[in-house]
Amino acid sequence: YAFDNAIVRRPASSVVNGLRAVDQGEPSLAGVEAEHSAYIQALEAAGVAVEVLPPLEAFPDSIFVEDPALVFPEGAVVLRPGAESRLGEAAEIAPVLRRRFERVLDLEAGYADGGDVLTTPDRILIGLSARTDQTGAEALVAALGRLGRKAEIVATPAGVLHFKSDCSLIDGDTVLSTARLAESGVFDRLGVLIVPEGEEAAANALRVNDVVLVGANYPRTADMLARHGYTVVPLSVIEIAKIDAGLSCMSLRW
């Protein structure tokens, strides 16, 4: 969670047509733009140099740059997003990564979304989901091995979009998680803080250097984190939540 750099992409006006599992109405474009700008400011305030990519009208969900790639200080992996409308985002992010990283690998088979990948200090957890299949997860384990990283394939609870919709690493050995994900036993080697009932979406938080970015509409989670000594920065996620997104999805960080 110590990051010097991040890549984000401005939302296109097509973002209002982003994928969603349940239609709770279109997000407002101005609202998404405001949430995205505040997010960039929060990353910069946390000490991160942010590269802002131009919007891609043809890809409504391309604001969620975390899904088509994985980045580490030692290199990057271009993934194959599992939603048909998002697969083309990989070719859009690849040249950016080739410019920023010396080593860029390509996922060679199957499908995998970055939203299903949780990097912890000793290993990387890859959650199988509707977007990340066994073939993609195995190809990703192989690619990560070439970058010198150990990875493990785990399950994502049914009905959860991405593994990281339900968890985030909040320090070197602690995850913030929903009860349903923690109960699956995937975090046996980590400490776990469970988000309060009714605030499940707050688990998609983001530790960046000294602060934890948390959805502003989850006050009980913010209180719990503060009580545990974390410095919380609340950010509005009301509009992006309408297209099933949270704080980790909107940047690539290293």
Binding string, 155-184, against ligand CIR, x = CB under 6 A? ------xx-xx-------------------
Match 């802002």 to its residue by tokens.
Answer: 52
CB of 54 to ligand CIR, least distance (A): 19
- Return the residue of 175, 202, 205, 245 that touches ligand CIR, per CB under 6 A: 245
Give the binding-site size for ligand CIR (rule: CB under 6 A).
18
Q: With binding defined as CB under 6 A, does residue 35 bind ligand CIR?
A: no
Binding string, 89-118, against ligand CIR, x = CB under 6 A? --------------------------x---
Q: With binding defined as CB under 6 A, does residue 67 bind ligand CIR?
A: yes
| Residue number, 16 or 245, with CB nearest to ligand CIR | 245
- Note the residues at the interface with ligand CIR (CB under 6 A): 18-20, 61, 64, 66-67, 83, 86, 115, 161-162, 164-165, 243-245, 249
